[in-house]
Structure 1
Amino acid sequence: MALTSERADAAGIRRRPGAPAGRTVSMRSRERRRTVGLGIVAWIIGLIFFGPIVWMLLTSLHSETTAATNPPSLFAPLTLSSYANFFGAASGASPWPPLINSISMSIGSTAIVLILSIPAAYALAIRPVRKWSDVMFFFLTTKMLPMVAGLLPVYLIAKSLGLLDTVGLMIIIYTSMNLPIAVWMMRSFFAEIPLEVIEAAQVDGAGLLLTFRRIIVPLSSPGIIATALICFIFSWNELLFASVLTSTTSYTAPVFLTSFVTSEGLFLSKVCAASIAISLPVLAAGFAAQDKLVQGLSLGAIK
């Protein structure tokens, strides 16, 4: 009886005074079954979300004839011909110009977003301006308008200024799209910084720039990295504005991906291979910053 009670205490289960030891063991068993059940559910949900990616990868490794069979042949011979066709420009267009355009637009817009959002978030969180809640609501309202509703005005303005089919125009578009959400995210990260730390630095004689560089940026670096990665992903995956505002010289990787869908012939394996190849930069960036991303997105959560 005493040994059972010690095991229950070691497991973190406190037996109520007067409760029998058998009930304590039953509670521990139910807690264990609950943990195992939640783990199984988590694995099932993960497989559901990861399954289409695995399916797309397998399809890209099959020939076009095998990929088009119904039902699909899972044990068909694997081949890298679709990837060779993609990188070898067998379709008649090289994938490197759109990939370079997407990288330039995504990195350029993300850098500008960070340069603009960090001071704005600092002013709204640590040194709040008057009616800062109205300012935040204004940023939020810019995301309420559907993107397609602003497509025609943007096209007419860009045409009148001679900016159609340019990388600079897309950087401006992506910056305006990602700036509101970046300000919202950065403000929540800056709001977690204790004001006592900033006040102590100011008492020691540190100015605004020194405090910002030595205190604020290091403490909020996970949030900054998370914001940068999300803005990069949004810019990389954008298709609507890129398909309308670019044509021959500045078209992006998602626009190039749509060219593989044709009305004649088989294209499923090529589309899957192109999708995997185009997704690799985003996957690599997410994998490299996964620790900072999880830490940054968890800031402000109730622990």
Structure 2
Amino acid sequence: MTATAAVGRPAAVRPAKARRNRENRNRSLLGLLAWLCGLVFFLPFAWMVLTSLHSESSAATNPPSLGASLTLQGYREFFGATTGVSPWPPLINSLTASIGSTVLVLLLAIPAAYALSIKPVRKWTDVMFFFLSTKMLPVVAGLLPLYLIAKYAGMLDDIWLLVILYTSMNLPIAVWMMRSFLAEVPKEIMEAAAIDGAGLLVTLRRIVAPVAAPGIAATALIAFIFSWNELLYAEVLTGVVAGTAPVFLTSFVTSQGLFLAKVCAAAVCISLPVLIAGFAAQDKLVQGLSLGAVK
């Protein structure tokens, strides 16, 4: 019996070793594929940065010259060194609209998601469908009514109009995301808080918010990105006072032509706040977006 076991052990080890080798090979292939996908998504931004460091004559060549001399002329023109036009008012307007609307979205989405997940209301699926249905209307279809409302309300070219619009634009997505995150909060914690006499605000602030922090960070980052990148509302409903960074970016496309190096320099500078926010919250973003994906 011992001899049989000794003889049979190598035969049992070989399939396990082959399986581990196959798993390692598959893992390596998946890692290589992930790197390739990352490079595919990163190359356009890298190309934009490289183009922004070229002169207009070098940037306009076809195919572009990789060995051309580098210059910061495009960035100097973006910051108004030669034109005298400062980009800071549009950037501040974008920060005001994006941060203000993101804060309002979280203040409204977290209680709504709490009511739809932890303390579910009656027919909560109908409520979720109503939130989703508000995103089915094309943005351009509601542009004329919004313009007329803003005109008669005296809010044209007002940054607070964009705060309200961006809040309404991002709120349905935030409610859907926060509901999935809050559904993962253990019910036992909520019951213990109720036994201790914690009210709704205390429960949300001291129990729900720390547990769902990754989801809140992911929701806030997505709402901030959507608000920062929005162009159509800002282009139509604002002017000189409340113009945002994307609107300022379109001003570089003039009747004289497309100055590619200057446009790329402006695009890099305007993209930096979103990139910095994403990099700073990348661990929370990944954790939040994957919350509940694996049971």
- Tell me the TM-score range normalised by the shorter chain: over 0.9
**CA RMSD for the aligned pairs?**
1.7
Question: Aligned equivalents of 1:196 and 1:26: distance in 2?
Answer: 45
1:1-303 equivalence runs, <5 A:
19=11, 21-265=13-257, 267-303=259-295
What runs of 5+ residues in structure 2 fail to find an aligned partner?
A: 1-7
Secondary structure of the residue aligned to 2:240 is coil
1:292 is aligned with what amino acid?
A: K
Q: Is the 8 A contact 2:252 2:258 kept in 1?
A: no
Q: Structure 2 length normalisation: TM-score?
A: 0.93
Question: Aligned equivalents of 2:45 and 2:200: distance in 1?
Answer: 47
Question: Following TM superposition, by how much is the alpha carbon of 1:298 offset from its aligned partner in structure 2, in angstroms?
Answer: 1.1
Deviations 1:259-294 (A, max 9, x none): 111232550000000000001111111111111111
1:54 is aligned with what amino acid?
A: A
Change (3 A) 1:200 1:239: same
Partner of 1:13: none
2:153 is aligned with what amino acid?
A: L
Question: Aligned equivalents of 2:268 and 2:10: distance in 1?
Answer: 62
1:290 is aligned with what amino acid?
A: Q
2:219 is aligned with what amino acid?
A: T
Question: Aligned equivalents of 1:31 and 1:226: distance in 2?
Answer: 32
1:212 is aligned with what amino acid?
A: L
Question: Aligned equivalents of 2:292 and 2:81: distance in 1?
Answer: 47
Deviates more, 1:99-108 or 1:28-37: 28-37
Change (3 A) 1:198 1:22: closer
Deviations 1:189-225 (A, max 9, x none): 1111011111012222323322222211110111111
Change (3 A) 1:92 1:229: same
Secondary structure of the residue aligned to 1:295 is helix
Change (3 A) 1:20 1:197: closer
Question: Following TM superposition, by how much is the alpha carbon of 1:95 offset from its aligned partner in structure 2, in angstroms?
Answer: 0.4
Question: Aligned equivalents of 1:215 and 1:60: distance in 2?
Answer: 47
Question: Aligned equivalents of 1:89 and 1:163: distance in 2?
Answer: 33
Deviations 1:149-179 (A, max 9, x none): 1111111111111111101111111011011
Question: Aligned equivalents of 2:81 and 2:134: distance in 1?
Answer: 40
1:65 is aligned with what amino acid?
A: S
Question: Aligned equivalents of 1:123 and 1:22: distance in 2?
Answer: 55
Question: Aligned equivalents of 1:275 and 1:167: distance in 2?
Answer: 22
1:52 is aligned with what amino acid?
A: P
Question: Aligned equivalents of 1:40 and 1:58: distance in 2?
Answer: 25
Question: Aligned equivalents of 1:285 and 1:175: distance in 2?
Answer: 19
Question: Following TM superposition, by how much is the alpha carbon of 1:29 offset from its aligned partner in structure 2, in angstroms?
Answer: 3.2
Question: Aligned equivalents of 1:299 and 1:91: distance in 2?
Answer: 48
Question: Following TM superposition, by how much is the alpha carbon of 1:27 offset from its aligned partner in structure 2, in angstroms?
Answer: 3.4
Deviations 1:96-119 (A, max 9, x none): 110010000111111111111111
Q: Is the 8 A contact 1:64 1:266 kept in 2?
A: no
Change (3 A) 1:137 1:17: farther
Identity %: 69
Question: Following TM superposition, by how much is the alpha carbon of 1:17 offset from its aligned partner in structure 2, in angstroms?
Answer: 7.8
Change (3 A) 1:89 1:49: same
Deviations 1:216-247 (A, max 9, x none): 11101111111111101000000011100011
State the number of aligned residues: 288
